[in-house]
Amino acid sequence: MSARGSVDGLASSHPLGGQLPAVYADDDFAQRFVEGLDVVLAPLFNVLDCLEAYFDPAIAPEDFVDWLTSWVGTELDGTEPLEIRRHAVATAVSLHRVRGTAEGLSRAVELAFGVRPEISESGGATWSARPLGPFPGDAKPSLRVTLKVSDPSTVDHHRLEAVVAAARPAHLPFTAEVSARKTLTPEGN
C-alpha cells in the first residue's frame, strides 16, 4: 500500500493559477478550477521535489524500499524487518561485486537469515614451480552450505535453497542444510 497521496493543507510548489494567460488572471471560475488541479498535482510535485530522498535507502518510504529491493536484485522475500531491507539496498552493489564467490554467498545468506553459514566447496587453487603437479580440490564439483541456528524449525529450508541457488557460482551443484547450533553447558561440555 502506498504511503503517498493527497495531504491536507499541502500547497502546490507550482500553482497553476499564476501560469495561466493574463486573460484568465481575473477569471474567478478559471482560478478556482486550476486550484482544484493544484490539490491533485501537489503530491506529485512534492515527490518530484524530494525525489533524491526516495533513492536513499536510509530515509526512503517503506513501500519504496520494498520496490528498490527488487530493483537492485537483493535476495530478500519481503518478510525481513525494514532495517534489513534498507541495509540490503544500501549494500547491493558491494554484494553484486562478490556474487558467485564464497564471500558473496556467505554475505547473501547472512543478510537473509542473520547467521553466517559454514561453506565447503570442492574447488581449490595452488601454485607449483614444476609443471604437471596435482590439481587442487576434488574432481567432482560440489558446494555445501550449512546454516547452524538455535532452532532449525524456524528456518524456511526452501528459502535457504533459493538464496544459495541465486548467489552460488552458476556451474556448481549444491546442497543446503540447516542444523542445530551446539550450545555449551555450564560445565563446558
pLDDT at 74: 83
Looking at mean pLDDT, say which of 5-9, 72-76, 160-164, 183-187 comes out highest. Answer: 160-164
Place of cell 530522498: 53
Q: What is the mean pLDDT of residues 122-136?
A: 81
Q: Is the pLDDT of residue 82 over 80?
A: yes
Q: Tell me the pLDDT of the chain averaged across its residues.
A: 86
Q: Give the pLDDT band (50/70/90) at residue 104.
A: very high
pLDDT at 6: 58
Residues found in the chain: 189
3-state secondary structure (DSSP) of residue 170: coil
**Which among 55, 47, 59, 35 has a CA at the least distance from the CA of 5?**
47
Rounded to a whole number of angstroms, the distance between the first and last alpha carbons of the chain is 51
Q: Give the pLDDT band (50/70/90) at residue 5.
A: low
Task: Provide the grid cell at 180.
Answer: 542445530
Q: What is the mean pLDDT of residues 64-77?
A: 86
How far, in Å, CA of 146 to CA of 140, rounded?
19
Q: Is the pLDDT of residue 133 over 80?
A: no
Which has the higher per-residue pLDDT, 73 or 97? 97
- pLDDT tens-digit series, residues 161-182: 999 998 898 888 999 999 998 8
Residue by residue, DSSP assigns 15-51 as -SGGGS-GGGTT-HHHHHHHHHHHHHHHHHHHHHHTH
Instruction: Please state, in angstroms and as integers, the Cα–Cα distance from residue 145 to each residue in 45, 46, 140, 148, 164, following that order.
Output: 48, 47, 16, 10, 8
pLDDT at 185: 62
CB atoms inside a 10 Å sphere around CB 39? 14
Q: What is the mean pLDDT of residues 65-75?
A: 87
The pTM of this model reads 0.68
**Cβ contacts of 20 within 8 Å, gap of 6 or more:** 30, 31, 34
- In what side-by-side order are the strands of the sheet with 118-121? 118-121, 143-149, 174-180
Q: Give the pLDDT band (50/70/90) at residue 117.
A: very high
